Amino acid sequence: MYQALYRKWRPRTFEEVVGQEPITTALKNEMLQGKPAHAFLLMGSRGTGKTTCAKLIAKAVNCLNPHDGSPCGECECCRGVDNGSLVDVVEIDAASNNGVDNIRDLREEAVFLPHVARYRVYIIDEAHMLSVGAVNALLKIMEEPPEHVIFILATTEVHKIPATIQSRCQRFDFKRIAPEVIRDRLLYIARQEGIDLSEEAAALIARIADGGMRDALSLLDLCWAHGSEISVQTVSEAAGLVGQDYLFEIAAAAAAGDFTGAMEAMERLAGQAVEYDRLCSQLIGHYRNLLVAATAKHPEQLIVCLPQTLEQYKKQAASSSPAVLMDAIRTLQDTQSAMTRTTSRRAEMELALLKLSDRRLSRSPEALLARIEELEAKLNRLLAEGVRLPSPESGGQEPAESAEPAEQPSPAQVTFAGMEPSPRPAPEKAPAAVEPMPEEQWQQILQRLGVINKMLAGALMGSHAYLRGQTVLV
């Protein structure tokens, strides 16, 4: 019977566990000294080696021929743990056996001596799923455990484990495995299995796995079903990913303000049955890489990709400011959150592309900062061309010949550079009606005001204007 790769290549010794060297070293030393703890708490994200190390501990404490703290893997106890036939090693899935009665049965069995092995080992997976009653029942036996009993708790959400349980365990935090470590492991397994796996495809699988070795091996197994030659295209099709060329195309169209081009690229992806939430997630990662390429001194240490792809990131990032990239990430994150509350994910994605293509539609702080940076760049270009701008003090008007002091305008009246001040209207018996000023006209006024007085323009950013006769109300 065929065995999945993640089961076939599960580490059989502590040395074979990759990416968790500090933990395996500490466990080996405990086994070598013959002083194992009575309870272990293994926490970390999925696929990082928690259950594997739990089984290695169970084998190491009961191994008949241990070698340098690691189990031999050949004796009766080691084989029994591997195939699940050793009755003294009990695996409990707390997700489905989380009741107080299950833990009470465990307490009744734990007092008896082991049948075959040296220790009776209880491996409780997903320990955070235990009910309150089950936790209280487990705490009772963990306070005064029998000498022949070892508890191993594995969890992905350690914050849900009560402090009274944590304080009685040796805690080991499993970190996410580095992408380059996963890539090298995949290439090694592929050579042993006779799989033609390219280095680029291995790197892509490692990036998709997000630090989980089991996820990486499962995806490699799926790609293998498509054929023995695995390329980047094979991995993308198997994982339902969007090709990087499409991501660069959408980002370039959005940067150029070409909403139609971005929509056409998305339509081609829709024809390939790409999910919109997956597209949104990948675009977030793409803009994150652009932001890293634009701001980090050594982006190659933070972006897992090929050298030529890194150059593409640098080239595209050079055409956008960090504020624009941050606004794009924020917009896509809001879209990703909105997709969980709507039945029309396509409409949400289209709105996101529209906002990316026209930053005036966004009211986020990052978008406003990007618009200010754009205005500053235009002002610098005007100054470089020798254009003389009116000073803020004069307001763009020539000083009056009369020595009489100028009449100060009221706070509700604003006079802009290049616009003749209107004469004061004659008193009217009834005040004129207040009408909203068109938004486009008000934005044009703010842009012209930003050339003269950026501080005042920034204070008026996001405001609305109204007209009452010939008076502007802000």
- The alpha carbon of residue 108 and the mean position of all alpha carbons in its chain are separated, in whole angstroms, by 45
Q: How far is 78 from 23, CA to CA, in rounded Å?
A: 21
**272, 266 contact by CB (below 8 A):** no
- Residue 153 DSSP SS3: strand
Contacts of residue 322, defined as CB under 8 A and 6 or more positions apart, other chains included, come to 291, 294, 295
What would the two tokens of residue 474 be? 């802000």
For residue 448, give the 3-state DSSP assignment: helix
| Residue at 136: amino acid letter | N
Residue with tokens 């935090």: 173
Whole-angstrom Cα distance, residue 41 to residue 170? 6
Angle among Cα 22, 23, 25 to the nearest 5 degrees reads 65
Angle between helix 213-224 and 179-193 (nearest 10): 40
Find where tokens 């007209």 sit. 467
Token pair in block for residue 171: 């805690």
CA distances from 430 to 410, 433, 469 (A): 19, 9, 11
Which pTM was predicted?
0.66
> Which tokens sit at 104?
């009470």
- Bridge-based pairing of strands 466-468 and 471-473 is antiparallel
Output the pLDDT for position 434. Answer: 66
What residues contact residue 47 under an 8 Å CB cut-off, 6+ apart?
209, 211, 212, 213, 214, 215, 216
pLDDT value of position 407? 53
CA distance 250 to 255: 9
Q: Which CATH superfamily is domain 5-174 in?
A: P-loop containing nucleotide triphosphate hydrolases (3.40.50.300)
Q: Residue 334: its pLDDT value, please?
A: 92
For position 222, what pLDDT does the model report?
A: 92
- Which of helix, strand or coil describes residue 156? coil
Residues carrying CATH 1.20.272.10, the chain: 246-366
User: Which tokens is 57 given?
Assistant: 């501990």
239 burial (CB, 10 Å; 0-12 / 13-18 / 19+) is: middle
Q: How many other β-carbons are positioned within 10 Å of the β-carbon of residue 257?
A: 12
Using alpha carbons, select from 273, 305, 268, 279 the residue that is nearest to residue 290.
305
- Token pair recorded at residue 5: 């790769």
Q: Say if domain 179-239 classifies as CATH 1.10.8.60.
A: yes
Sign of CA dihedral 83, 88, 89, 94: positive
Which runs of E-coded beta strand occur in 305-455?
434-436
**CA dist., res. 386 & res. 405, Å (int):** 33
DSSP string, 98-135: -SHHHHHHHHHHHTSPPSSSSSEEEEEETGGG--HHHH
Tens digit of each residue's pLDDT, the chain (474 residues): 788 899 999 999 999 999 999 999 999 999 988 889 999 999 999 999 999 999 999 999 999 998 888 898 889 999 999 888 898 999 988 888 777 888 888 888 888 898 888 999 999 999 999 888 888 888 888 888 889 999 999 999 999 999 999 999 999 999 999 989 999 999 999 999 999 999 889 988 998 888 899 999 999 999 998 888 898 888 888 887 767 888 999 999 999 989 999 999 988 888 777 788 989 998 999 999 999 999 998 888 888 777 888 899 999 999 888 888 998 999 999 999 999 998 889 999 999 999 898 877 766 666 676 677 777 777 787 778 776 666 555 554 544 444 455 555 554 454 444 445 555 555 555 555 667 777 777 787 878 777 777 777 777 777 777 776 667 777
Q: Alpha helices, DSSP H only, in 358-467?
A: 365-384, 439-452, 454-460
What is the CA 289 to chain-centroid distance, rounded?
12
Q: How many whole angstroms separate alpha carbon 123 and alpha carbon 250?
A: 48
Q: Where are the beta strands (DSSP E) in 220-371?
A: 229-230
Separation of first and last alpha carbons in the chain: 77
| The two structure tokens encoding residue 238 | 């198997």
Q: Are 32 and 68 in contact (CB under 8 A)?
A: yes
H/E segment holding residue 290:
helix 276-295
Residue ranges, CATH 1.10.8.60, the chain: 179-239
CATH architecture of 246-366: Up-down Bundle (1.20)
